[in-house]
Structure 1
Amino acid sequence: MTDLRAPLRDERPDARDRRRSSGLFRAFWRWHFYASFLVVPVLLVLATTGLIYLFRFQIEPLLHPDLMNADQPSAASIRQPYAAQLAAVERAHPGAEVLSMAEPREEGRPTVFSVVTAAGEARDVYVNPYGAKVLGDLDLDATLSGTAVRLHAELMSGTLGDRVMELGACWAIVMALTGYYLLVKGRRARRRSRAPGARLRSRHAAVGSVVGIGLLMLLVSGLPWTGVFGERAQEIASGRGSSLWSTDPGAASDPHSTLDESLPHSHAHEVPWAQGGSEVPSSDGDGHERSVANLDTAVQVADGEGLRHPMTVALPAGDDGVFSVIGYAFDAPSDERTVHVDRYGGEVVSAYGFDDYPTLAKVVSQGIGLHEGRSLGHWSFWGSALMCVLVIVSCVTGPLMWWRRRPRGTGSLGAPRGRMPLRSSPLLALGIAALGVLLPLFGLSLLVVLALDQLVIRRVPALATFFGTA
Structure 2
Amino acid sequence: MTTISLAETAPARASASFYRAVWRWHFYAGLLTLPFLILLAVTGGLYLFRYELDGLIHRDLKQVEIRTSAMAAPSAIVANALAAIPGQAVKFVPPETPSASAEVTIRTADGTRKVAYVDPYDGHVLGQLPDKGTVMWVVRQIHSLAYFGPVANGVIEIVGGWAILLVATGLYLWWPRGRSGGVVSVRGDAGKRVFWRDLHAVTGAFAGLFVVFLAVTGMPWSVFWGDQVNRWANGNNFGYPAGVRVAVPMSDEHLHHAGPTSWSLEQARVPESVAKAAAPIGLDTAVAKFDALGLTRGYAVNLPSGPAGVYTGSVYPNDLSRQRVIHLDQYSGEPLIDMSFADYGPLGKALEWGINVHMGQEFGLANQLFMLAVCLAIILLAVSAGVMWWKRRPAGSLGVPPMPPRRRTLYGVFAILGIGGVIFPLVGASLLAMLALDRLFWPMAKA
2:71 is matched with 79
Partner of 1:310, secondary structure, is coil
TM-score of the superposition, structure 1-length normalised? 0.82
Residue identity matched to 2:297:
H
2:341 is matched with 354
Superposed counterparts of 1:271-282, under 5 Å = 271=267, 280-282=271-273
Alignment deviations for residues 265-313 of structure 1 (CA, whole Å, 9 cap, x no partner): 4767xx4x7xx6xx92415132x3x32x233322332233332222211
1:210 is matched with 206
2:38 aligned to which of 26, 38, 44:
44
Distance of 1:331 and 1:62 partners within structure 2 = 20
Partner of 2:351, secondary structure, is helix
Does structure 1 conserve the Cα–Cα contact (< 8 Å) formed by 2:196 and 2:384? yes
2:152 aligned to which of 153, 161, 164:
161
1:136 aligned to which of 127, 133, 150:
127
Report the CA distance shift for 1:358/1:448 in structure 2 as closer, same or farther (over 3 A). same
1:299 aligned to which of 261, 268, 287:
287
The alpha-carbon deviation at position 39 of structure 1 amounts to: 0.5
Distance of 1:34 and 1:379 partners within structure 2 = 34
The alpha-carbon deviation at position 239 of structure 1 amounts to: 5.6
Partner of 1:352, secondary structure, is strand
Alignment deviations for residues 35-89 of structure 1 (CA, whole Å, 9 cap, x no partner): 21210111111111112222221222322232121113x5x43222222212211
Alignment deviations for residues 178-198 of structure 1 (CA, whole Å, 9 cap, x no partner): 111111146717459769321
Superposed counterparts of 1:87-236, under 5 Å = 87-94=79-86, 96-154=87-145, 156-185=147-176, 188=179, 190-191=181-182, 196-236=192-232
1:390 is matched with 377
Identity of aligned residues (%): 30
Partner of 2:271, secondary structure, is coil
Report the CA distance shift for 1:38/1:454 in structure 2 as closer, same or farther (over 3 A). closer
1:374 corresponds to 2:361:
yes
2:434 aligned to which of 444, 449, 462:
449
Distance of 2:241 and 2:172 partners within structure 1 = 34
Does structure 2 conserve the Cα–Cα contact (< 8 Å) formed by 1:42 and 1:169? no
Alignment deviations for residues 294-344 of structure 1 (CA, whole Å, 9 cap, x no partner): 333223322333322222111112123221112x43212343211222222
Report the CA distance shift for 1:110/1:357 in structure 2 as closer, same or farther (over 3 A). same
Residue identity matched to 2:299:
M
Residue identity matched to 1:416:
P
The alpha-carbon deviation at position 421 of structure 1 amounts to: 6.5
The alpha-carbon deviation at position 175 of structure 1 amounts to: 0.4
Does structure 2 conserve the Cα–Cα contact (< 8 Å) formed by 1:254 and 1:314? no
Instruction: Give structure 1 stretches of 5+ with no counterpart.
Output: 1-5, 459-463
Does structure 2 conserve the Cα–Cα contact (< 8 Å) formed by 1:183 and 1:209? yes
Report the CA distance shift for 1:10/1:372 in structure 2 as closer, same or farther (over 3 A). same
Does structure 1 conserve the Cα–Cα contact (< 8 Å) formed by 2:33 and 2:159? yes
Alignment deviations for residues 113-135 of structure 1 (CA, whole Å, 9 cap, x no partner): 22212232211211111112111
Return 413-422 or 243-252, whichever deviates more: 243-252
Distance of 2:353 and 2:288 partners within structure 1 = 28
Distance of 2:120 and 2:162 partners within structure 1 = 48
Residue identity matched to 1:322:
V
The alpha-carbon deviation at position 141 of structure 1 amounts to: 4.5
Superposed counterparts of 1:229-248, under 5 Å = 229-237=225-233
1:30 corresponds to 2:24:
yes
The alpha-carbon deviation at position 423 of structure 1 amounts to: 4.2
Does structure 2 conserve the Cα–Cα contact (< 8 Å) formed by 1:101 and 1:314? yes
Report the CA distance shift for 1:308/1:13 in structure 2 as closer, same or farther (over 3 A). farther
Q: Say what the alpha-carbon RMSD is for the aligned residues.
A: 3.3
